[in-house]
Structure 1
Amino acid sequence: MSTNVLICDDSNLARKQVLRSLPESLSTDVQLAKDGQEALEILRRQSIDILFLDLTMPIIDGLGVLQALKDEGIQLPVFVISADVQPEMQSRVLGLGAKAFLRKPIALDTLNEHLRNHGFL
């Protein structure tokens, strides 16, 4: 069974890094979005199983995406990946429904642990 993954980050390098970090055992169909608006357009038109979401992006930031998902009743596991590791920001994203807050650059063991904890591995 394939897992539909969406990676949303305004940095092409960061998107590629997350893509390379996905475990081979996770059979995936991956889409990439460069900002929150593009991510929401994808999420509104098709089923996505996991969203990896940056916070600091143009047009609609990660907090805006999380709020829109909540407002529109779109439910899926969201893993926020950000360099903004302030406790207040972590509380905000978890309060908006994110499953985990992962520090950039993403650590493979941490990513695998969260994927395993949420039934993807």
Structure 2
Amino acid sequence: MALPILVVDDSALARKVLTKALPEDWDVEVFYASNGVEALAQYRDGHASVMFLDLTMPGMNGYEVLDVLKQEELNTFVIVVSADVQTEAQERAKAAGAMAFIQKPVTREKLLPVLKEYGIYG
């Protein structure tokens, strides 16, 4: 059975780049959200065993999504994908429940070690 993963980013290009960086042999079904509200709806529909989450989005941003996941004790493996690589952003995201942080643009070379480290792939 394919693993449901959710790619959350307000940029269609960023969603496409991340999707292309996924391992080709990884048995996943990819779902998409362009903001935090859509991300939570997709999660609640069972479409986010793994969530790739941008931090900067209009409406509900990635930090707010992490807060809701934590407050409601929702269980998903969140990997933040952001151009904001400041230490403060990384620490804040991890304190809010993100498991890992990958800098944009996402490449397979950046993504694979994270997936393997946490036992999600390979």
TM range (shorter): over 0.9
Aligned partner letter, 2:101: F
Count of residue pairs the alignment pairs up: 121
Q: What TM-score, normalized to structure 2?
A: 0.95
Q: Pairwise mapping of residues 17-36 of structure 1 onto structure 2 (< 5 A)?
A: 17-36=17-36
SS in 2 for 1:51: strand
SS in 1 for 2:52: strand
Alignment partner, residue 78 of structure 2: 78
Contact 1:26/1:120 (<8 A) preserved: no
Identity %, equivalent residues: 42
Aligned-residue offset at 1:50? 0.4
> CA–CA distance in 2 between the matches of 1:90 and 1:116?
20
| Runs of at least 4 residues off by over 6 Å | none
1:81-110, Cα deviation, whole Å (9 max, x unpaired)? 000011011000000110111000013222
User: Considering only aligned residues, what root-mean-square deviation do their CA atoms show, in Å?
Assistant: 1.0
> CA–CA distance in 1 between the matches of 2:48 and 2:108?
22
Aligned partner letter, 1:78: V
1:37-81, Cα deviation, whole Å (9 max, x unpaired)? 100111122252100000000110000000000011111110000
Unaligned runs of 5+ in 1: none
Contact 1:78/1:100 (<8 A) preserved: yes
> CA–CA distance in 2 between the matches of 1:33 and 1:48?
11
Aligned partner letter, 1:64: E
SS in 2 for 1:115: helix
> CA–CA distance in 2 between the matches of 1:109 and 1:66?
25
> CA–CA distance in 1 between the matches of 2:21 and 2:76?
20
Contact 2:53/2:81 (<8 A) preserved: yes
